[in-house]
Amino acid sequence: MTPSRDIPARAWAELALLALLWGGSFLSIRVALDEVSVLSSVCHRVGWAALVLWAVVLLRGEALPRGWRIWGSFAVMGLLNNVLPFTLMAWGQLTIESGLTSILNAFTAVAGVIVAALVFTDERLTARRLTGVLLGFAGVVVTVGPALLAGLSLRSLAQLAVLAGTLSYAFAGAWARARLKGVSPLVASAGMLTGSTLMLLPLTLVLEGGIDLPSTGRGVAAIAYYALAATAAAYLLYYRVLAMAGAGNLLLVTLLIPPVAITLGAVVLHEALPPRAYAGFALLAAGLLLLDGRLLRRRAAPPA
C-alpha cells in the first residue's frame, strides 16, 4: 500500500462517482439474480465489459498484448479478480442482503494488506497496520454475528462465500503487482475480462446448459448497469483516480461503497440490516482508516 497523498478536488469527485457505481452494483446484481442464474449473471458481467474495454483499447490505438505468457497472466488474474469473487459474491447475495454483502466486501482492503505482507518483503505488518487488520477482523466477527458459532447455516455459508471472494481479490492484487508490471491498465483489464469470459462460457454451458437471458426490462437494465457501468466504466474511472490520487487514497472508496449499497438496498429492496452489521462496519471503517494512516499523520504533524 503506497502512502496516501493529497487528493485534488477532481479526484474527490471521481472517487465519489466510483463509489456510486460500485455501490449500485450490489443492488443491480441482486435484481438480475431474480431472472438469471449465478454463473449466467457473471458471464454477462465479464463478457459485455470485455467487449467495451477492447473497443476503447482499439479507439486509443494501444498495442495489443502478444505471447502466451502475458495471456496466461491475464487468465490467472481473471480467475482471481473476476471468476471467483464475482461468482462467490453473487451466490452469497441469493441469501444475504445486498447491503450486508457490501459491508463484508469492505474486508477486501484488509485482506489485501495481509496477503501483501505474506508475499512481498517491502509490505511488512507494522504495529499500525497490524492494529488496523485486527480491527478489520473484529468488524467481520461482529457483522457475521454469533450464528456462525452455532453451526453452518445457509446464511452463514453465504457470508463466508463473500469473505472468500475478498481473499481472492487480495491475491489478485498481489498477482497483478508481481506479473503485470509495465502493462497498460486498460489492456490488462480487457485481457483479464477476456480470460474470465473464456473460462466462464464453457463452465456455464456444461453446468447450466446455456446462458440465461433476462426476461424483463428490469433484468436487462440491471445487467446493463453492472456490466457496462459498474464494471467497464468503473475500471476506466478507477485507473483515472489511481493516476490522480495514488493507490493509498483509493482505499477511501472502500469506505464509501457500503453506505451507497445499504441505502439502495433499503429503498429499493426494503432490506433491513441488524444493528450488529452497522457496528461491524464501524469497526471495519476504523481499521481501514488506521491502515490508511492519514488521520494519524495529520495529528502528529506540527502546527504551521
Choice between 255 and 151, residue whose per-residue pLDDT is larger: 255
The helix/strand/coil state of 6 is coil
The distance of Cα 292 from the centroid of its chain, to the nearest Å, equals 18
Give the pLDDT of residue 241. Answer: 84
Residue 12 has pLDDT above 90, yes or no: no
Q: Which pLDDT tens digit goes with each residue over 21-59?
A: 999 999 999 999 999 999 999 999 999 999 999 999 999
Query: Over the stretch 76-101, which tens digit does the pLDDT of each residue have?
Result: 999 999 999 999 999 999 999 999 99
The number of angstroms, rounded, from the C-alpha of 11 to the middle of its chain's C-alpha atoms is 19
Single pTM value for the model: 0.91
Cα torsion angle, 143, 231, 193, 4, sign: negative
Whether residue 217 has pLDDT greater than 90: yes
pLDDT at 162: 96
- Nearest 5°: phi and psi at 71? -70, -30
What is the model's pLDDT at position 20? Answer: 96
% pLDDT > 70, the chain: 92
What would the mean pLDDT of 278-284 be, rounded to a whole number? 94
CA 97 to chain CA centroid, Å, is 16
Which pLDDT value is given to residue 192? 96
Gap between the Cα atoms of 127 and 272, Å rounded: 36
Cell of 147: 450464528
pLDDT in tens, 153-183: 888 899 999 999 999 999 999 999 999 988 9
Q: What is the pLDDT of residue 10?
A: 80
Q: What is the pLDDT of residues 219-275, one digit of tens each?
A: 999 999 999 999 999 999 988 888 777 766 777 788 899 999 999 999 999 999 999
pLDDT top residue among 55 and 5: 55
